[in-house]
Amino acid sequence: MKQPPKNRRYSLHNFNVIQNACEMAQTHHKFFAIVGKPGSGKTVGLEYYKNSNPYQVKYIRVRQSMGIKDFFYGLQNLYNLDKRRNIHRFMNWLESYYQELDESHLLIIDEGGKFKYDQYSFIHELRDLTHDKLGIVLSGPGYYLDKIESWNSRSLEGVPEFYRRLNMIIKMDDLTRDEIISVCKDHSVTNKSVLKEHFFNLKTIGDLINALHNYLFYGNGLNALDD
């Protein structure tokens, strides 16, 4: 039986865009939002940048079950504080902490699309207190941008202030045919008819890897399940 693909990192366009965006945000203390379809490689790219810069980069992933206090408690854990502080005191601590540092630092907030509209005022405050020493990269799904722009147009509390502080919104692209061919070739899948039937219609690296897994594991893609 053919072996399905293992976890690998591919130097695709979206991955390179994420690395460059993180580096720019960190170096120049910018606030960027990265948006793209689920499976477009946001988390993989962000985690790679964090792991490549473990001392200057903090990474936190927002969960659906998190309230804003949970988020800030999770953030506090990244700094190994000896005791928990309430949000106000932690914000003050962060401001002092980064003011004392000489290096450029970055905070990555993955899955930021899970924030509720009334939680963005806290991110706005965090940005204001650390803007001259800390870059921020916040990621979310494609619909996240529509949601934020809708909230902003309705002037929901805290959203316009947050939105104005975003220096750039970066959109992930769909896979190109050349990228699909390259990834498939890496797994010894090169037959043109197979590529056309199973892979050329896919838009994200996540969907492509899942399709390769099914094709290699079952020997003939998902259609083998019908045999």
CATH code of the domain containing 72? 3.40.50.300
Shared domain for 182 and 116, answered yes or no, is: no
Residues 179 and 196: their CA atoms lie apart, in Å, by 14
Residues 27 and 103: their CA atoms lie apart, in Å, by 9
Give the model's pLDDT for residue 225: 44
169: enclosing H helix or E strand: strand 168-171
181 lies in a domain? yes
3 lies in a domain? no
Q: Phi and psi for 46 in degrees, rounded to 5?
A: -70, -40
Give the model's pLDDT for residue 201: 97
70 lies in a domain? yes
Shared domain for 118 and 184, answered yes or no, is: no
Give the model's pLDDT for residue 144: 87
Shared domain for 122 and 204, answered yes or no, is: no
Give the model's pLDDT for residue 8: 66
Shared domain for 44 and 105, answered yes or no, is: yes
Q: What are the mean pLDDT values of the chain's consecutive 10-residue runs (227 residues total)?
A: 60 95 98 96 96 96 94 94 91 96 95 92 96 96 90 93 96 96 94 95 96 84 45
Shared domain for 65 and 103, answered yes or no, is: yes
Two structure tokens written together for 53: 């810069």
Shared domain for 55 and 101, answered yes or no, is: yes
Give the model's pLDDT for residue 72: 96
Q: Is 41 left (phi over 0), alpha (psi -120 to 50) or beta?
A: left
Shared domain for 147 and 214, answered yes or no, is: no
Nearest to 17 by CA among 171, 178, 196, 180: 171
120 lies in a domain? yes
Shared domain for 187 and 109, answered yes or no, is: no
Give the model's pLDDT for residue 170: 97
Domain span at residue 205?
A: 177-226
Contact 154, 143 (CB under 8 A): no
Shared domain for 105 and 189, answered yes or no, is: no
Q: Which of 171, 192, 217 is the last residue of a domain?
A: 171
Domain count, the chain: 2
The interaxial angle of helices 120-130 and 68-77, nearest 10 deg, is 40
4 lies in a domain? no
